[in-house]
Structure 1
Amino acid sequence: MNVIIHPPRNEWPALLQRPVLDHFTLETAVQEVLNHVKKNGDEALVELTQRFDGVLIKNIRVPEQEIATAAQTLPVELKKAITQAKENIEKFHTAQMQAVIKMETMPGVQCWRKSIGIEKVGLYIPGGSAPLFSTVLMLGIPAVLAGCKEIILCTPPGKDGTIHPAVLYAATAAGITQIYKAGGAQAIAAMAYGTETIAAVYKIFGPGNQYVTCAKQLVQRDGIAIDMPAGPSEVCVLADETANAAYVAADLLSQAEHGPDSQVLLVSTSAAMTEKIIKEKQKQLAALPRRDIATKALANSKAIIVENMADALALINAYAPEHLIISCENDEAIAEQVVNAGSVFLGNYSPESVGDYASGTNHTLPTNGYAKVYSGVSVDSFVKNITYQKLTQEGLKNIASTVISMAEAEGLQAHANAVKVRM
C-alpha cells in the first residue's frame, strides 16, 4: 500500500486513477465474445464456459430439482442468516415504493405518475472464487417488489458444473426460478441478445469484473439498458486521529479480498493513525485465507495523508468511491459534505460488510468514479414511470389559450388546431 503525504491538487487525478486493463484490448476481446454468442447461441455458451470456466455443461438451465434440493445442503445458521438479510433488504426496499398521487395543476387539469415494472430483466451474479449469493438478494428482491414479469438469473458454474447451493437457496428466497449456468461476458451477451435457452431481456443488472462491465457497456450501444457500470469493488476509508486502527484495517482488507483488481483507498488527516492502520493491516493480512488475492489488490491501493478535513472531503468527492467509510469524530456532520459516493458507512460500528450483506441497503453500486452520476440499485432501477393526464371540458378551456399561444409561436399549427377544434 503506497503512502502519499500532502499531495498537491494537480496530482490528485493521477493518484485517484483506478487499475484498468488496456481499453482497446479489453473491448476487442469482449466484442468477440458478444458476437460469438449473438451468432451461435447456446453452442457458443457451452464452448465459452468450457474455455473460461473449465467445465463442460450439458444443461444451461438449472433444473428445478437441483434448486429444490439446495436447501438440504446448507447449514441451518446460513439459512437463518439469508432469511434475516432478506427481511431487512425487503423492508428497506419496500419503503421505496410510492403510491400513485393524482394532483390538479389547475382546475380541470389532472396529472399523475405510475410506476410500472420493467417486463423482462436479467440479473448477473458473479461466481468464481467467491459465489456472491448476497447479490441474488440485492437484485432479486427489488425486481420482485417492482413487479417485473420475467426475471432471469445468470451465474457461472463451479468446476463440478453446478451452481453453489447458497446461490440457489437465495434465489428461491427472493422468488427467482429461472437460473442459468453462464458467466462472464458470454452471460451478458445471452441476456442481451437471447439464445435458444435464455430469453433476451430489456435491462441487465449486476456487478462483475472488467470484462462483465465492458460487456454491459457494449450491449448498451445496441439498445439494451443496464443498471450502471459496476466493475471491480472498491472502498475508501476516511480516518482521523480518533479512528480505531484495527477496525479500519479490517475494512480495507474486506474489500481487498474481493479480487486482485479491487482497490482500497485510505484518506487520513493523521500521519500517526495512518502508520497504525498500515501496521494493523499487515498483521491481519497474514491470517487471511485469501491473503494472496488481497495482497495483489493492495499493490494498486494507496494511503493518502492530507493536511485537513476540507482537503480530505475534496479528495473523496473527486474520487467518488463505491463505498465510503467515515471513521471520524462528528461523522454525520462530515457525511453531509459528501456529494459523490455509492453508499456511506458512519462511525466505528458500521463496517462496509454489513451493507454488503444484511443491513437492508443495496450493495450493487457504481464504481470507477461513476458515483458522480449514478445511484446504487433500488426499486426505482426496476421500474419505468408513465405519466398520465386527464382534462375536463372546463380544464381544456382554462388551459387552451396557453397551449395555442405556445404552439403557434413554435410554428406548429396542427398542435394548436388540436386544441381549437375542441373549443
Structure 2
Amino acid sequence: MTSKAGAKWLEVLKPGDSGFEKAWDSLCARQAAQPTESQVADVAERVSQIRAGGDRALRSWIRSARGLDLDRFELPQEEWDQGCEAVEASDRAALGKAAMRIREFQRKRVPSSWEMREEGGGSMGQRVRPLSRVAIVASAEGFMTATDLIMKASPASAVEVPEILFAAPTDSEGRVRPELLMAARIAGVHRVYKLAGPEAVAAFAYGTGDLPRVDKVVLGEGSELEIARNALSGVVGFCGDSGPREICLVADKSAQPAWVAADLLAHAESGGRAQTILITHLKGLLTKVQDQLVRQMKNAGELGHAEQSLATAGTAILTPNLETSMALAEIYAPEKLVLAVESPESVAKTVLNAGEIFMGHYTPPAVGAYLAGPATYRGGGGRARFESALGIEDFLKRTHFVKFEPPKLRELGAETMRLAELADRPGHGNSVELRLQKIRRARREREQARESEL
C-alpha cells in the first residue's frame, strides 16, 4: 500500500496487500465528523424556543444570530420580482431548461390511484394524493445552489403539491440571491421566506403563526440541518440531503485520463466531506490520472476545497480486473457511480447499489448535477443500499382502502377469526363474530319470511 506523498493526490490501495482490508473497511464505514455536544445542544435550544415562543422567538433568534430585524418573514412579491429581473437572460434560459427537463423526467412516472373489485361485494385499492404543504430549507451558510433548489422543488411541483415553500439564506442585508429567486419561480415554489437553518426547520415543523406547519421538510446540505432532522424526527417528515458527498469512478482501458481526473476534481469541489474514489485494474491509467490531477490543479487556479478533499478523502484502488472493480463498487454503494468503461450499459445492469449511475465517457456527473433530468441523489454513507433519489414519491401519500359487503365478510370471516386466534387477539375475532351473527340472523329472517309466504 502506497501512501499519499509528493505529487500523488490519490492514496493507492491494492486488494491482497497488507492493510487493505482495514483500509477498505474504513472507506466503507464513512466515518463522517460527528456533531459535538454543544452543537446538538444549541440546535435543541433553538427548537425548544421556537416551539414555545413562535414568531417572537424566531425573530429574536434571527436578530441575535444573523443580525437581521425582520418585520415579516415572507419575501414580498415585489422583491421577488426584482430579484428575478436581476438574473441575466442567458442564466434565466439555462435555469429554465434545467427546470423543464427535470419536471418532464419526474412527470413520466407519476403513480395513479387504482381499485379492484371481487365477487361477493369486496373492493379494495390505493388512493394516491399529494402532500398538502412542503418546505425546502437551505443551510444558513448558503450551500444551496439554484439547480439544487430546482431539483428539490420540481418533483413536488410535478405532482401538484398545493403549497411549496422555500426557506432561503440571506446576506447580511437580508437579501436573497437573485438566481435562487429565479430558480424558485420557475420550479413552482409558491412562497419564499427569509430564514434558513435549524430555526427554519423548527418553524415549519411546528408552525409559528407567520410560518405555517408543513407535512414534510426537504433539507439542503449542512451539518446543522442534519442535527435538526434528528431532533424533529416524528414531528414532521423529512427528505433531501443526508450524509457526506461521495463518488466512485470505475475505469477501464477505454477511459480518458484527463476526463477521469476532471470528474474527480469536480466532485472534490464539494469540500472536505466529499469522498472521492477511483477503481481501476490498469496501473498505467492510474499513473496518468495522478499526473492529470497535478496538472489540472495547477491550471485551475484556486481549488482549496478540492485540495482539502483529495488530501483527506481521495483514494484509488488497483484491482486485478474489471469484475473485481465492480464488486468493490457494489459493496461500497456509492452516492454517485461513474462507469468510464467500454460497455457501460451491460456493466450497469449488474449494479444494485448506487444512488446514480453515469454511463459512458460523455456523461460527466456535472450533467446530472445541473440539467440532465433525474434529480441528483444526495445520500452518502452507503444509504444507496436502501434509499433512492429524491422524486415524486417523496411528495405523495398512498392510502389503502378496503370495503366488504355482508357476503364477502361471510365468505372470509371464519379465516379472519382463525388468524386472529393464532395472533392471540380475541378482540379482533370478536369484532368479526358480532357482524357474522347479524348476517346469520338476517339470513334466517329472510328464510323464515320466504317460508311464511309459501
Q: TM-score, normalised by structure 2?
A: 0.84
Of all paired residues, the percent bearing the same amino acid is: 25
Q: Give the corresponding residue for 1:3.
A: 11
Q: Distance in 2 between matches of 1:248 and 1:27?
A: 39
Q: Distance in 2 between matches of 1:316 and 1:408?
A: 48
Q: Give the corresponding residue for 2:304.
A: 292
1:374-396 Cα distance to aligned partner (Å, 9 max, x none): 11111110111001223344433
Q: Give the corresponding residue for 1:234.
A: 246
Q: Distance in 2 between matches of 1:289 and 1:64?
A: 40
2:417 corresponds to 1:400: no
Alpha-carbon shift at residue 144 of structure 1 (Å): 2.2
Q: Give the corresponding residue for 2:222.
A: 209
Please say if residues 255 and 264 of structure 1, whose CA atoms lie closer than 8 Å, have aligned partners that are also in contact: yes
2:423 corresponds to 1:415: no
RMSD: 2.6
Q: Distance in 2 between matches of 1:125 and 1:289?
A: 28
Alpha-carbon shift at residue 87 of structure 1 (Å): 1.4
Match for residue 262 of structure 2 among 228, 250, 253: 250
Match for residue 189 of structure 1 among 180, 193, 202: 202
Alpha-carbon shift at residue 213 of structure 1 (Å): 1.7
Q: Which moved more, 1:186-195 or 1:368-377?
A: 186-195
Q: Distance in 2 between matches of 1:219 and 1:211?
A: 12
Counterpart of 1:182 in 2: which secondary structure?
A: coil
2:27 corresponds to 1:15: yes
Q: Distance in 2 between matches of 1:280 and 1:50?
A: 48
- Corresponding residue pairs, total: 422
Aligned residue runs from structure 1 range 239-388, under 5 A? 239-288=251-300, 291-301=303-313, 302-388=315-401
Alpha-carbon shift at residue 41 of structure 1 (Å): 4.0
Counterpart of 1:300 in 2: which secondary structure?
A: helix
Counterpart of 2:41 in 1: which secondary structure?
A: helix
Counterpart of 1:360 in 2: which secondary structure?
A: coil
Please say if residues 144 and 221 of structure 2, whose CA atoms lie closer than 8 Å, have aligned partners that are also in contact: no
Q: Distance in 2 between matches of 1:261 and 1:57?
A: 34
Instruction: Rate the CA distance shift 1:387–1:39 in 2: closer, same or farther, 3 A.
Output: same
Q: Distance in 1 between matches of 2:346 and 2:135?
A: 39
Q: Distance in 1 between matches of 2:380 and 2:93?
A: 30
Please say if residues 333 and 382 of structure 2, whose CA atoms lie closer than 8 Å, have aligned partners that are also in contact: yes
Alpha-carbon shift at residue 399 of structure 1 (Å): 2.7
Alpha-carbon shift at residue 52 of structure 1 (Å): 5.9
Please say if residues 228 and 374 of structure 1, whose CA atoms lie closer than 8 Å, have aligned partners that are also in contact: no
Task: Return the letter of the residue paired with 1:62.
Answer: L
2:167 corresponds to 1:154: yes
- Of structures 1 and 2, the larger Rg is shown by 2
Aligned residue runs from structure 1 range 10-159, under 5 A? 10-18=22-30, 20-25=32-37, 26-42=39-55, 44-46=57-59, 48-49=61-62, 59-104=72-117, 108-126=121-139, 128=141, 131-159=144-172
Please say if residues 143 and 221 of structure 2, whose CA atoms lie closer than 8 Å, have aligned partners that are also in contact: no
Counterpart of 2:192 in 1: which secondary structure?
A: strand
Q: Which moved more, 1:369-378 or 1:180-189?
A: 180-189
Please say if residues 154 and 179 of structure 1, whose CA atoms lie closer than 8 Å, have aligned partners that are also in contact: yes
Please say if residues 416 and 429 of structure 2, whose CA atoms lie closer than 8 Å, have aligned partners that are also in contact: no
* Structure 2 unaligned residues grouped into runs of 5+: 1-8, 441-454
Instruction: Rate the CA distance shift 1:306–1:185 in 2: closer, same or farther, 3 A.
Output: farther
* Structure 1 unaligned residues grouped into runs of 5+: none
Q: Distance in 2 between matches of 1:290 and 1:39?
A: 45
Counterpart of 1:16 in 2: which secondary structure?
A: helix
Please say if residues 53 and 158 of structure 1, whose CA atoms lie closer than 8 Å, have aligned partners that are also in contact: no
Q: Distance in 2 between matches of 1:5 and 1:415?
A: 64
Q: TM-score, normalised by structure 1?
A: 0.90
